[in-house]
Structure 1
Amino acid sequence: MGDILSHTPVWVYVLFTVLVFFGFKQSKPRQVSSWMVVALPVAMLILSLAGVLSGFGIALLSIVFWLVGLVLSQLFNRVFKLTSYAEYDLQNQTFLIQGSWIPLVLMMAIFFTKYAVAFLLATEHALTVDPIFMLVACAWYGLLSGSFLVRAMGIWQAKRHAIKAEKVAKAA
């Protein structure tokens, strides 16, 4: 294990530290701008797609299964209720988001999936020549990163509800 870690590039440790930092920040209730609600899902989509492309190349089948994972994240969210509770403050135009450990868990799952896939590919493990390995890994990447997208969409619903409530209040 020490041999594996000693051959890991420094940037991987930096990325890990950044993800842990942002994951811990997500565990606390916080007030964020609209931009920040979008930034994390976009970053996780890019990180997971980079894992697909770096691990399996620009292949139609790998991208299709990544997209299948994105679609499955909708179902995954319905089963495991990953959407964060949020309120939208119309006056400050910010979201008030309940803290959750789920983003940290999802970030670590993407990170360690990418790390494990890279290790298996680098060591030319026999598993990597099995097409099922590629399909499952790509779908898994999509499912995990899609979960961030689903959470962000749930948070954005708070803004729609606040705007609707304000219109109703003004009409009354």
Structure 2
Amino acid sequence: MLQLITGAPLWVWPLLALLIFLGIKSSKQRQTSVKTAYFLPFLGLITINGIITLPNPSLSWSAFFLVYALLAGAAYHLQKRWVLARDGDQVTLAGEWFTLCILMTQFVINYASKAINAVNPDLYTNPVFLIAFASVIGATSGTFLGRALCIIRG
């Protein structure tokens, strides 16, 4: 178990710290530029590298895109409670812990995927694992598209 922590690349820990910082920052009401909404879907797609490396790409990508689209729509409606106001090119967002949960889920699922591949390659190629992993990545990534659409559509 200790090997999971000590065997991680050094860059993982500053990334984790940055994600925690961003998640905590989003727990407070804030104003931001509407232009940042255009980049939110790309934040969610950072984890795409985890999908690219999976075996059985047709299964993995199908699960990813299906759940991505479903959660983008659901998150669009969910975000309405956190998008408080839009004034020109500025948007006021309520503080929420949802962002931290999504960022941590993305981090943990990607980290777990790499660990599973190293420890149990047979599990890593199992269709149930592929669908579950791609679905979690699709769900978390889709929430960023949902937020962006909610901000852009005002």
TM-score normalized with structure 2 length: 0.88
How big is the shift at 1:157?
2.6
Residue type of the partner of 1:132? V
Report the count of equivalent residues. 153
| Alignment match, 1:138 | 134
% same residue: 27
Q: Is the Cα–Cα contact under 8 Å of residues 86 and 155 in structure 1 kept in the other structure?
A: no
What corresponds to 1:109 in structure 2? 105
Q: Which amino acid aligns with 1:134?
A: L
Deviation at 1:154, TM superposition (A): 1.4
| Higher relative contact order (CA closer than 8 Å, sequence separation 6+) | 2
Give, as a single letter, the amino acid of the residue that structure 1 aligns with 2:12.
Answer: V
Distance 2:15 2:104 in 1: 11
Cα displacement (A) at 1:151:
1.7
Q: Is the 8 A contact 2:34 2:91 kept in 1?
A: yes
Indicate if the aligned counterparts of 2:34 and 2:151 stay in contact, CA closer than 8 A: no
Match runs of 1:1-172 below 5 Å: 1-45=1-45, 47-54=46-53, 56=54, 59-74=57-72, 76-77=74-75, 81-83=78-80, 84-90=82-88, 93-158=89-154
Q: Which runs of 5+ in 2 are unaligned?
A: none
CA distance in 2, matches of 1:3, 1:22: 27
Aligned residues of 1:33 and 1:95 also touching (Cα < 8 A):
yes
TM-score (norm 1): 0.79
Q: CA RMSD in A?
A: 2.1
Deviates more, 1:100-109 or 1:66-75: 66-75
